[in-house]
Amino acid sequence: MLVGGCDVGSTTGKAVILDGTSVVSHFITPSTTSPEKTARTAMDEAVKMAGLTAYDDLRYIVGTGYGRLKVPFANENVSEITCHARGAHWLNPAVRTVVDIGGQDCKVMSVDKNGKVIEFAMNDRCAAGTGRFFEAMARVLNCGLEGISALDQQGSNPASITSQCSVFAESEVITLISEGIPLPDIVAGINNSVANRLFSMVRRIGLTKELALTGGCSKNEGLAKALEKKLGVTVTLLPQDPQIAGAVGAALIACERAEKN
């Protein structure tokens, strides 16, 4: 039995084909101005990679993400909080805390042994600590997102970036550059500032090991290391691309619905 999950985010669209026990295929595509177009592009490619010919080959499809209401081929839509928690826990059953850092928001979820959300905290009113924040910082530093992520670009004396607002933080970084602060120290300071924000959210719901990162920003190794140092834990790695965790969770729910029906 094949099912699908489609996660339409502000930055990327992700689609996953699941056979109930493993991921058969997945595809990630940049988001367009049309959530419907993004969803179709992602799912079309995932279907093709699975050797299928049409959406009808899938028993059930669940949409998630900020654009979940615009996934025209989905049988239903489910909150990305539920889906990221389920997906991360299924990829690694030891996970009890999930930190999802997306393009326009960040979420921290506490999950039980079944991957069900017990409690969560969410920042969706400010770009600080999101993918948009890192994009803005990379643009100012002219180093690309890879430069902010790479461990060999992290300085040993992180610069202090205190503003919680992306616009003001950008001004702080420009000032640091003009003062001649080494680029690696500024990069480390950027990751530290986001880690501090996430630390506050984790503290709100309580940290339970193991902790995993999901979302596109989970690939930022510098941020992961900064968060590990701040929390005093080791970030648990997922066996598949952590960016597809939400789509995996959606597909798992699709599998449950299909079996029930």
Closest CA to 238 of 39, 30, 26, 50: 26
The highest-level CATH class for domain 1-92+238-261 is alpha beta
Domain residue extents for the chain? 1-92+238-261, 94-237
For the segment 22-73, what is each residue's pLDDT rounded down to a tens digit? 999 999 999 999 999 999 999 999 999 999 999 989 999 999 999 999 999 9
φ, ψ for residue 137, nearest 5 deg: -65, -40
pLDDT tens readout for residues 113-126: 999 999 999 886 66
Q: At the fourth CATH level, which superfamily is domain 94-237?
A: ATPase, nucleotide binding domain (3.30.420.40)
| Both tokens assigned to 192 | 């530290």
Q: Regarding predicted confidence, which is higher, 153 or 3?
A: 3
Identical fold for domains 1-92+238-261 and 94-237, yes or no, is: yes
